[in-house]
């Protein structure tokens, strides 16, 4: 064991025995080799000795992070359930208050990046409940733990090195940076490589701190959406209804048709009026599992006198280009619809 590993040993072995029991078999040699590799790579990429030493000072392995990563719940809410949880009245009311608190900052972001206030607020509300949800993990420890776990070692190693560069460039205390167990941080939950690419100085102090500085967080998020191609003149989705026998294979958002083509297939506004007939292209997304359940229920309630059970009308969403830009931020149809719904409430 080299001197560096011996020095670091105190950081690992001073932890309570109960933690060690929770870990099971822990390969200390592999842990120290990993830390040596971080030092070598950071040195080769010209990260300052101060940041390297601070990063590698008393690193910890956190078993709960491995459990979170390996045991992510497979339970999925219905779309209606997801929207009820994420676009609730409290979040809407809080967003309206926040808009009144930061009118100048929101205007500055819109003027510079072309992202309107209600869109910025929707992302802020979804990601951190307007900054009220505080991440509790020391970010370096999260990355060390996930690197040691090994399943995505390269990815998390890249995140750690990016975080070290961010701390170095912006004169931040790397050991005070907290984030989620998966490595996201700040008001808009950026991972370090995303922050490296899109981070922006919102208050002109020459630093980027998206955790403690709302201006930096806002400008960084606005810059990210701008680079994704955000179009302030286009909506995100349009809620529609479809015939009960609509082909559900078309409802994954991947099939793109013009609005007249969707109209010809039976898409209507919720009030039964025709959807717009311009040549804009859109996908179509709905909760297919919920549709299949509703159809099964309808079949179960059919009477012997009924040749064909009436299928319930389908609620779906026409998905425009901004929808797919949101999915580059978070690749979830439900998330993108929630952003659109919350943004509409905050408009």
CA 65 – CA 344 distance, rounded (Å): 36
CA 46 – CA 127 distance, rounded (Å): 33
pLDDT at 73: 53
Asked if residue 191 is part of any domain, the answer here is no
Asked if residue 156 is part of any domain, the answer here is yes
Task: Tell me the per-residue pLDDT of 103-161, one tens digit each, with 9 for 90 and over.
Answer: 999 999 999 999 999 999 999 999 999 999 877 889 999 999 999 988 889 999 999 99
Confidence at 316, pLDDT banded by 50, 70, 90: very high
| One domain, residues 149 and 284 | no
In the block, which residue shows the tokens 């080769």?
Answer: 44
Q: What domain range includes position 266?
A: 237-319
Asked if residue 212 is part of any domain, the answer here is no
Asked if residue 111 is part of any domain, the answer here is no
pLDDT higher than 90, residue 191: yes
CA 23 – CA 66 distance, rounded (Å): 10
Token couple for 229? 């191609």
CB 140 within 8 A of CB 175: yes
pLDDT at 295: 84
| One domain, residues 241 and 312 | yes
| One domain, residues 161 and 309 | no
Please give the biggest Cα pair distance in the chain.
84
Q: What's the mean pLDDT in 43-56?
A: 97
CATH code, 28? 1.10.8
Element housing 239 (H / E): strand 237-242
Token couple for 135? 């991440």
**Torsion 206-177-217-333 (CA) sign:** positive
Report how many domains make up the chain: 2
| One domain, residues 160 and 272 | no
CB 323 within 8 A of CB 336: yes
Asked if residue 86 is part of any domain, the answer here is no
pLDDT at 9: 43
pLDDT higher than 80, residue 11: no
Q: What's the mean pLDDT in 93-105?
A: 97
CB 170 within 8 A of CB 209: yes
β-sheet bridge partners, residue 185: 190
| One domain, residues 175 and 241 | no
pTM of the predicted model as reported, rounded to 2 decimal places: 0.88
pLDDT at 70: 73
Confidence at 24, pLDDT banded by 50, 70, 90: low
Please report, rounded to a whole number, the percentage of residues in the chain having pLDDT higher than 70.
89
| One domain, residues 144 and 40 | yes
Computed over every residue of the chain, the mean pLDDT equals 89
Confidence at 6, pLDDT banded by 50, 70, 90: very low
CB 309 within 8 A of CB 301: yes
Total residue count of the chain as it appears in this document: 347
Task: Tell me the per-residue pLDDT of 202-217, one tens digit each, with 9 for 90 and over.
Answer: 999 999 999 999 999 9
| One domain, residues 159 and 16 | yes
| One domain, residues 20 and 151 | yes
Which is nearest to 240 in space by CA: 282, 203, 269, 265?
269
């Amino acid at each position: 064991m080299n001197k560096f590993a011996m020095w670091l040993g105190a950081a690992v072995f001073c932890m309570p025995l109960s933690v060690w029991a929770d870990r099971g078999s822990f390969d200390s040699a592999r842990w120290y080799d990993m830390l040596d590799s971080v030092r070598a790579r950071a040195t080769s990429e010209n990260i300052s000795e101060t940041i390297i030493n601070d990063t590698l000072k008393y690193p910890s392995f956190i078993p709960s992070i491995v459990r979170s990563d390996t045991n992510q719940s497979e339970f999925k809410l219905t779309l209606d359930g997801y929207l009820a949880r994420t676009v609730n009245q409290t979040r809407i009311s809080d967003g309206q208050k926040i808009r009144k608190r930061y009118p100048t900052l929101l205007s500055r972001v819109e003027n510079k990046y072309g992202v309107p206030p209600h869109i910025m607020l929707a992302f802020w509300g979804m990601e951190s409940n307007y900054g009220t949800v505080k991440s509790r993990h020391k970010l370096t420890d999260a990355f060390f733990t996930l690197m040691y776990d090994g399943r995505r070692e390269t990815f998390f190693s890249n995140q750690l090195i990016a975080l070290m560069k961010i701390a170095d460039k912006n004169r931040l205390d790397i050991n005070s940076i907290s984030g989620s167990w998966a490595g996201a941080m700040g008001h808009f939950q950026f991972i370090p490589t995303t922050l490296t690419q899109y981070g922006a100085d919102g208050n002109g102090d020459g630093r980027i701190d998206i955790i403690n500085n709302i201006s930096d967080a806002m400008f960084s998020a606005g810059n990210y959406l701008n680079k994704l191609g955000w179009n302030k003149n286009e909506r995100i989705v349009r809620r529609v209804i479809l015939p009960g026998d609509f082909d559900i294979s078309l409802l994954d958002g991947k099939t793109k048709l013009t609005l007249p083509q969707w109209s010809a297939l039976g898409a209507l506004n919720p009030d039964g009026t025709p959807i717009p007939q311009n040549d804009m292209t859109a996908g179509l997304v709905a909760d297919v599992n919920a549709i299949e359940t509703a159809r099964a229920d309808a079949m179960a309630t059919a009477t012997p006198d009924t040749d064909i059970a009436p299928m319930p009308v389908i609620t779906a969403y026409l998905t425009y280009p901004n929808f797919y830009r949101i999915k580059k931020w978070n690749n979830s149809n439900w998330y993108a619809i929630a952003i659109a719904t919350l943004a509409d409430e905050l408009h």
